[in-house]
């Protein structure tokens, strides 16, 4: 399974997704448009996608230091998606579907 991430702020993605659901599920159309513009990035793992979303891999200078600090703080607090129960359930579901 490839993990996808749209480039942009974390808050913008969440509110945009929520807005798309309220407007009648235009999320797939938005994804296709972003893919055409080259704004969609594929990752081999959820952890790599999460680090990219925080900006650990593409920011520079002080921004990169701040991104690393935010990632570490959220990791210690257990706020990362890869640490959530939802992620663990999704991972089990994906593994079970591969075995069949």
Round to whole Å and give the CA distance between 7 and 16: 13
- H-helix or E-strand spanning residue 5: strand 3-6
Q: In this predicted structure, what is the pLDDT of residue 35?
A: 87
Q: In this predicted structure, what is the pLDDT of residue 12?
A: 43
- Overall pTM surpassing 0.85 (yes/no): no
Per-residue pLDDT of the chain (100 residues; tens, 9 = 90+): 455 555 554 444 444 454 445 455 566 888 889 889 988 888 899 999 998 889 888 899 999 999 999 999 999 999 999 999 999 999 999 999 987 6
């Amino acid at each position: 399974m490839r993990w996808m991430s749209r480039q942009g702020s974390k808050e913008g993605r969440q509110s945009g997704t929520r807005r798309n659901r309220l407007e009648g599920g235009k999320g797939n159309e938005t994804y296709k448009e972003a893919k055409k513009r080259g704004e969609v990035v594929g990752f081999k793992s959820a952890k790599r996608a999460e680090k990219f979303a925080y900006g650990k891999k593409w920011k520079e200078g002080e921004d990169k230091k701040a991104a690393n600090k935010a990632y570490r703080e959220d990791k210690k607090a257990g706020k990362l998606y890869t640490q959530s129960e939802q992620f663990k359930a999704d991972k089990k579901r994906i593994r079970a579907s591969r075995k069949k």
